[in-house]
Amino acid sequence: MAIVRWDPFRDVAELQNRINRIFDESFGQPRKTDDDLPKNTWRPAVDIYEAENGVVLAVELPGVKKEDVSVEVKDDVLTLKGERPANPDISEDSYYRRERFFGPFKRSFSLHQNIQPDLIKATFKDGVLQIEIPRPMREQPKQVTVNVE
């Protein structure tokens, strides 16, 4: 029987590998939220951050034309829709590796109830769609005078 030196960190490393595998299997692929889109649909990356005048959504849309993107607000939900077309000059057989997704996309974000959709601004520059959402209007308390008799 061979004598093996005990390494206390070997079991910890194995545990970490198992935990990583569980998370990769559970959360590795983005979950589908829109049933009407095909399985190979891509979801553009979105950064959401606080700015001076409100909240900004910065959406990465490389290879997408401004005309192929729509921004809609309905029932306090902001929805981005569009499509990135594949290059028709390249056949499927010509690819060695294909990591970029093409086709339709759709992302939806809930808005605060007091947001005025008319004040939302969107700009598209260098493949980045930037949507500026103003701060919600604060409800002013109403003061009622009560006459005591």
Both structure tokens of 22: 């569980």
Handedness of CA 11, 17, 18, 20 (dihedral sign): positive
Instruction: Find out whether 135 and 112 touch, Cβ atoms under 8 Å.
Output: no
Specify the pLDDT at position 32: 44
Global pTM exceeds 0.85: no
Band (pLDDT 50/70/90 cuts) for residue 41 is low
Could you tell me which residue, 103 or 33, shows the higher pLDDT?
Answer: 103
Give the tens place of pLDDT for each residue, 8-22: 777 777 778 788 778
Band (pLDDT 50/70/90 cuts) for residue 71 is very high
Is the pLDDT assigned to residue 29 strictly greater than 80? no
As a whole number of angstroms, the longest Cα–Cα distance in the chain is: 101
Q: Rounded to the nearest 5°, which phi and psi values hold at 109?
A: -135, 135
Could you tell me which residue, 102 or 81, shows the higher pLDDT?
Answer: 81
Domains and CATH numbers, the chain: 34-87+101-134 (2.60.40.790)
DSSP state of 2: -
Give the pLDDT mean for 78-91.
89
Is the pLDDT assigned to residue 34 strictly greater than 50? no
